[in-house]
Amino acid sequence: MDLAAPDAAQRVWHEVLGPEAGSREQYEARIHGKKLPLANIDRPAPPPATPMLRHQYAKAMRRATRTPAKAKRARRRPVSTPSLPQIEPLVTLWTSYIRDALGLHGLTRTSANLRLQSTSYVTSLQTSLLKMDWTGAHVTVIRSSQPTHVHISGIIVQETHETLRIVTDGSIKCTYALLTHQASPNATPCSA
């Protein structure tokens, strides 16, 4: 090691690292003339140099600063209230769908009463009704965990897992409902 005329930085370098410091050539190549941050070590790292690393860095930054998916969906879909005349074709479509699915074409009241006396037919009818699409059906909420939803009557315009959106007199009410097995002569019972 040539330490004939070491400057102050090289002396510190050799005192800190000891024999691992290497020769003067290694010091010149690695340290001499370079800026060494002695303070502010928490400074953010510079962006990566290669395109692939830049892409990964940008992707990580997007993930760190992304908005929640629920907020994105709320901005993407403005809620518009459909009017009752716009929904009437949906109601007629649903009525024909139910008649076809349950085989109610040409059924008289007496033949329907004979069918309904069979418990197995009623059970299969209830399970098939619960599996059907309810968009376009007239419903009345008879039970709900939220008292303001009870006695709401209207037409279902959207059905998700446990949510029914019901249009009543031109306004959308969002009720969380589970369809029950109870039979009601005028409306579909809902409970939450």
pTM of the model: 0.48
Q: Domain ranges in the chain?
A: 82-191
Gap between the Cα atoms of 116 and 122, Å rounded: 6
Query: In whole numbers, what is the pLDDT of the chain averaged over residues?
Result: 75
21 or 65: whose pLDDT is higher? Answer: 65
User: DSSP of the chain, one letter per residue?
Assistant: ---SS--HHHHHHHHHHGGGG--HHHHHHHTTT-----S-TTSPPPPPSSHHHHHHHHHHHHHHTPPPHHHHHHHHS------HHHHHHHHHHHHHHHHHHHT-TT--HHHHHHHHT-HHHHHHHHHHHHHS--TT-EEE----SSGGGTT-EEEEEEE-SSEEEEEETTEEEEEE-EE-S---SSSB-EE-
Residue 53 C-alpha from the chain's centroid: 30
Gap between the Cα atoms of 160 and 93, Å rounded: 19
Q: What is the pLDDT of residues 164-182, one digit of tens each?
A: 888 887 566 655 555 554 4
C-beta neighbour count of 170 within 10 angstroms:
13
Q: What topology is assigned to 82-191 in CATH?
A: SH3 type barrels. (2.30.30)
Q: Is 115 exposed, middle or buried (0-12, 13-18, 19+ CB in 10 A)?
A: middle
Percent above pLDDT 90 for the chain? 3
pLDDT over 80 at 91, yes or no = yes
Residue 92: band (very low, low, confident or very high) from pLDDT cuts 50, 70, 90? very high
At residue 40, the pLDDT reads 67
Could you tell me which of 148, 142, 145, 190 has the C-alpha nearest to residue 173?
Answer: 148
Residue 4: band (very low, low, confident or very high) from pLDDT cuts 50, 70, 90? very low
23 or 109: whose pLDDT is higher? Answer: 109
Q: What is the pLDDT of residues 98-157, one digit of tens each?
A: 888 887 777 888 888 888 888 888 888 888 888 888 889 988 888 887 888 888 888 888
Residue 36: band (very low, low, confident or very high) from pLDDT cuts 50, 70, 90? low
C-beta neighbour count of 61 within 10 angstroms:
11
pLDDT over 50 at 78, yes or no = yes
